Amino acid sequence: MENTEEMQNKIEELKELTKTIRGDILKMLNKAKSGHTGGSLSCVELLTALFFHKMKHQPGNPDWEGRDKFILSKGHGAPALYAVLGRSGYFDIKEFDTLRKLDSILRGHPYNRVTPGVEVCSGSLGQGLSQANGLALAARLDSSSARTFVMMGDGENQEGQIWEAAMTTAHQKLDSVCGILDQNELQIDGKVADIMSIEPIADKWRSFGWNAIEINGHDLEEIIAALDKAEETKGQPTILIAKTVKGKGVSCMEGNVKYHGVAPSWEELQKAAEEIGFELEEKDHPKPEAPKEPGPKVLGTREMYGEALLELGDENPNIVVLDADLSGSTKSGAFGKKFPHRFFNMGVAEQDLMGTAAGLAAAGKTVFASTFAIFATGRAWEQIRQSIAFPKFNVNIVASHGGLTVGEDGATHQATEDIGLMRGMPHMKVVVPGDGYELLSALRGAMEYEGPVYIRTSREKFPVLYSPDHQFTMGKATVHGDGKDLTIVAIGLMVHLALKAQKILESEGIRCTVINSASVKPLDNDTILSEAMKSRAVITAEEHSIINGLGSAVAELLSEKCPVPLKRIGIRDRFGMSGQPGPLLEKYGLTTEAIVKEAKKMVARKNGGSGSEGAFSSKELEAGILVSS
């Protein structure tokens, strides 16, 4: 790069722009009250150099065929990408105020179907380079000179798919691919070097056939020069190993792992504005929140998991716990602090986590493997099937953040298919506790069971439902009430909503039984059949897809043994989206009101009412041919 006056002026303009972009990121996150601050701030100069200097693109024509393409493989850095896209002109910057809110075009992680300028979906780490390879191969087939840029995190380089893709890029000689490693040296659970070291990272990439250029990721001149060298390099792909600082620009956030997934407070935003030099407008000031009314005592299932592990660890020296860089969220980290020699943080590597868990179980250890439900059952499904379920090893997979109530992170992190994925696996038992005390009992029961168990916990805290001495038994349900009009079978959060619906319905003369079917597999067939025969009408309720979840399990049972009218309440063949848990549940029809509405319709039809759907025919009631979808 020539050191011309024109270029120097350009560099100064870009430096000023980085202040605006950092301000946009921080203001967005402050309004959203959630999101990933540190990793968004660390990549600002890299994105600014790309979108405002290097890349060929047309914000007014996002689908221009000749455009260069960018993939944010470290999808949690979405606020930084949205800031540069908005400032480039892909959408009105007023959209910044909607980050992570329901129906926003700015989801918790990038989603190409709603955000102009976003090429692919990202958020589950390790997948972006493979997508970049596909885009580059397509460009080659189309004789296009378009380049593809992909930004990865350093913790993300712990994922095996990265290295599979790296081999493909080099083998195919995709010199139009430019990788960028945002090496800020921190990941969710701590320092990358402590969790799972990736060094010597530049040498590793070179050994895979890449041209690796090491740079200061906050020096715009170095970045631009390296991007130019990457374009000049022919016959092999290039990766920029960019040394950066997580939380760059804000003194209290720089190098502070706390801010991986914490939004800035108003006070921190004010301090950041002073330190970086961006303006705060009147609209940026926080609005006073209405005071919250005190509710019932709550006890989170994942919080109880963390407490239970400490108790079980004291009792049983054979227990080993594994996690995948999420021990603070899954709550397994407390076990790691108390029993560090029996705790293994595998980094961002869920497939390796499950394989290692299988090996430990094969050696006779009692294993608890923890990560988010989407990563446990999605990314590592085949490892669970082959290495854990098939040999029937005693691995307890305790997966947190199941369902829509993951909230603002959006569809990439909302496991709404996990129960079905585990339920269809031979030897696997599936448990969805209704509260923390039921979880505790289920954990003890799982340890005594021969074979693998999948236990789903929630990000949301539930009201306390049972006493500390509550006994969970595999294959047995808990019955609440004794109703002749309707049976509601529910799991997890939906048990609480079903019990609220039960009270409303009883006040209106409709008597219903609520069954907490925490043991999804095996089902308590006897209890469900007994109640179905009595009420002759059944509703299932789950924070999960109605396909292959609890509703499907109950439908399969009833269709064979006791055909009665059935309505499944759950997610209807859709992905989730970003938003707060309450509004999300309302949008997807997972509410007390929805249960009450469906219950009234079903009872009215059963009793020969004249609703829009008409009464159930005698054939339907006797032969049970009606099983609604």
Write the pLDDT tens digit of every residue in 207-265. Answer: 999 999 999 999 999 999 999 999 999 999 999 999 999 999 999 999 999 999 999 99
Residue type for position 242: A
Residues 433, 492, single domain; the answer is: no
Mean pLDDT, residues 146-153: 98
Mean pLDDT, residues 542-568: 97
Quick one: pLDDT at residue 416? 98
Asked whether residue 283 is domain-assigned, the answer is no
Query: What are the tens digits of pLDDT across the range 511-529?
Result: 999 999 999 999 999 999 9
Residues 555, 588, single domain; the answer is: yes
Domain boundaries, position 539? 478-623
Residues 433, 516, single domain; the answer is: no
Query: What are the tens digits of pLDDT across the range 468-515?
Result: 999 999 999 999 999 999 999 999 999 999 999 999 999 999 999 999
Residues 308, 242, single domain; the answer is: no
Quick one: pLDDT at residue 627? 36
In Å, how far are 51, 180, 232, 237, 578 from 132, measured between CA atoms?
A: 17, 12, 19, 11, 25
Residues 323, 442, single domain; the answer is: yes
Domain boundary among 434, 463, 492: 463
Residue 597: is it exposed, middle or buried by C-beta count within 10 angstroms (0-12/13-18/19+)? Answer: middle
Asked whether residue 82 is domain-assigned, the answer is yes
Quick one: pLDDT at residue 293? 76
Mean pLDDT, residues 445-456: 95
Residues 223, 321, single domain; the answer is: no
Quick one: pLDDT at residue 616? 57
Quick one: pLDDT at residue 385? 98
Quick one: pLDDT at residue 625? 39
Mean pLDDT, residues 291-300: 81
181: three-class secondary structure by DSSP: strand
Quick one: pLDDT at residue 299? 83
Counted domains in the chain: 3
At 339, is the pLDDT very low, low, confident or very high (cuts 50, 70, 90)?
A: very high
CA neighbor of 488 nearest in space, from 521, 530, 534, 537: 537
Residues 361, 245, single domain; the answer is: no
Residues 64, 122, single domain; the answer is: yes
pTM (2 d.p.): 0.95
Q: How far apart are CA 570 and CA 219, in angstroms?
A: 50
Q: How far apart are CA 137 and CA 292, in angstroms?
A: 54
For CA atoms 429, 435, 440, 445, the dihedral sign is: negative
Instruction: Enumerate residues 6+ apart whose C-beta is below 8 A from 195.
Output: 155, 158, 187, 189, 325, 345, 347
Residues 517, 554, single domain; the answer is: yes
Q: How far apart are CA 265 and CA 283, in angstroms?
A: 15
Q: How far apart are CA 506 and CA 524, in angstroms?
A: 25
Q: How far apart are CA 85 and CA 80, in angstroms?
A: 9
Q: What is the share, in percent, of the chain residues with pLDDT greater than 90?
A: 92
Length of the chain in residues, anyone? 629
Instruction: Enumerate residues 6+ apart whose C-beta is below 8 A from 193.
Output: 185, 199
Report DSSP state, residue 385: I
Asked whether residue 309 is domain-assigned, the answer is yes
Which CATH number belongs to the domain containing residue 493 in this structure? 3.40.50.920
Cross-strand bridge partners of residue 96: none
Residue 163 token pair: 């290295």
On whether the CB atoms of residues 277 and 250 are closer than 8 A, the answer is no
Query: What are the tens digits of pLDDT across the range 396-411?
Result: 999 999 999 999 999 9
* Segments in 191-241 forming alpha helices (H): 192-196, 201-207, 220-232
Residues 316, 272, single domain; the answer is: no
Quick one: pLDDT at residue 233? 98
Which CATH number belongs to the domain containing residue 456 in this structure? 3.40.50.970
Q: How far apart are CA 99 and CA 83, in angstroms?
A: 11
Asked whether residue 133 is domain-assigned, the answer is yes
Asked whether residue 187 is domain-assigned, the answer is yes
Q: What is the share, in percent, of the chain residues with pLDDT greater than 70?
A: 96
* Segments in 144-218 forming alpha helices (H): 160-171, 192-196, 201-207
Residues 123, 246, single domain; the answer is: yes
Residues 311, 405, single domain; the answer is: yes
Is 358's pLDDT higher than 50? Answer: yes
Would you put residue 367 in left (φ > 0), alpha (ψ -120 to 50) or beta?
beta
Mean pLDDT, the chain, whole residue set? 95
Quick one: pLDDT at residue 618? 56
Asked whether residue 628 is domain-assigned, the answer is no
Is 100's pLDDT higher than 50? Answer: yes
For CA atoms 339, 343, 347, 348, the dihedral sign is: negative
Q: How far apart are CA 228 and CA 225, in angstroms?
A: 5
Asked whether residue 54 is domain-assigned, the answer is yes
Asked whether residue 469 is domain-assigned, the answer is no
Is 628's pLDDT higher than 80? Answer: no
On whether the CB atoms of residues 110 and 80 are closer than 8 A, the answer is no
Is 285's pLDDT higher than 90? Answer: no
